[in-house]
Amino acid sequence: MSAAPVPVRVLLADDQRVVRDGLAMLLGLLDGIELVGTAADGEDALRLVDEHDPDVVLMDLRMPRLDGIEATRRLSERGSGRPRVVALTTYADDASVLGALRAGAKGYLTKDAGADEIRAAVLAVARGEAALDPAVQHHVVTALAGGGVAPPTSPADGPPLPDDLTPREAEVLQLIATGLTHTEIADRLVVSPATVKSHVNHLFAKIGARDRGQAVAYAFRNGLS
């Protein structure tokens, strides 16, 4: 008889008690997730990470003493690769979204996300994947396309590419991150849509992305945007 799957250990950080208590109750009902602690601010979150060693932190961004973006940055700077952070906040503005991703968050959900969305995001991030709310994906694409982010440089001119991406695959990923469709990418690169689809399939397999949202998050985290 096979052993039951080990649940994903989750720490929740939110400064609003009623929200924190509600989310804690919700997380306690989700299959495959074990809530190991709750924090009222970023300082508490860092302390409880050391105490409970969670796999994932659901992190509110706007909290007293130490906000979620700075707490996320400090966790990322430890270099251990865990816990991974999912930003869970009321706000989906460009500054919040891009700030969280720059700090190292692997997922971003707004607080109107349903139980299934939260569970899927936590499990995906625990597996090392990215998880972006569709509305958040729109903000990232808009920012990359013209909201103050520098135009992408040629992948061939930069440092070695991650995950064995070829320069062409990285170029396609950059164009996905600016919001272009497969057809528009084909026109831009003067290749067939079938060729673009082949590049997309290969690069998605290499980076572990299941959709364009995860690919955009990967591009942003790895400086390919």
pLDDT single digits (tens) 199-220: 899 899 989 888 888 888 888 7
Question: 129-169 pLDDT, tens per residue?
Answer: 888 877 677 666 665 555 444 444 445 445 567 888 888 88
- Tell me which residue of 52, 162, 59, 49 sits closest to 108, measured CA to CA: 59
For residue 4, pLDDT over 70 is answered with no
Mean confidence (pLDDT) of the chain: 83
Total residue count of the chain as it appears in this document: 225
**Residue range(s) of every CATH 3.40.50.2300 domain in the chain:** 8-142
* Residues contacting residue 103 through CB under 8 Å, at least 6 positions apart: 69, 70, 72, 73, 76, 85
pTM above 0.85, yes or no: no
Computed on alpha carbons and rounded to an integer, the radius of gyration of the chain in Å comes to: 18
SS (H, E, C) 10-29: EEEECCCHHHHHHHHHHHHH
**Residue range(s) of every CATH 1.10.10.10 domain in the chain:** 152-221
Q: Give residue 62's identity as a one-letter amino acid code.
A: R
CB 12 within 8 A of CB 23: yes
- Classify the phi-psi angles of 211: left when phi > 0, otherwise alpha if psi is within -120 to 50, otherwise beta: beta
Kindly indicate whether the domain formed by 152-221 is annotated with CATH number 1.10.150.50: no
8-142: CATH superfamily: Response regulator (3.40.50.2300)
Q: Which DSSP helix (H) or strand (E) runs through 168?
A: helix 167-177
- Tell me which residue of 39, 80, 73 sits closest to 58, measured CA to CA: 39
Question: 47-78 pLDDT, tens per residue?
Answer: 999 999 999 999 998 888 889 989 999 998 88
pLDDT > 70: percent of the chain: 84
pLDDT of residue 175: 84
Instruction: Calculate the CA 127 to chain-centre distance.
Output: 12
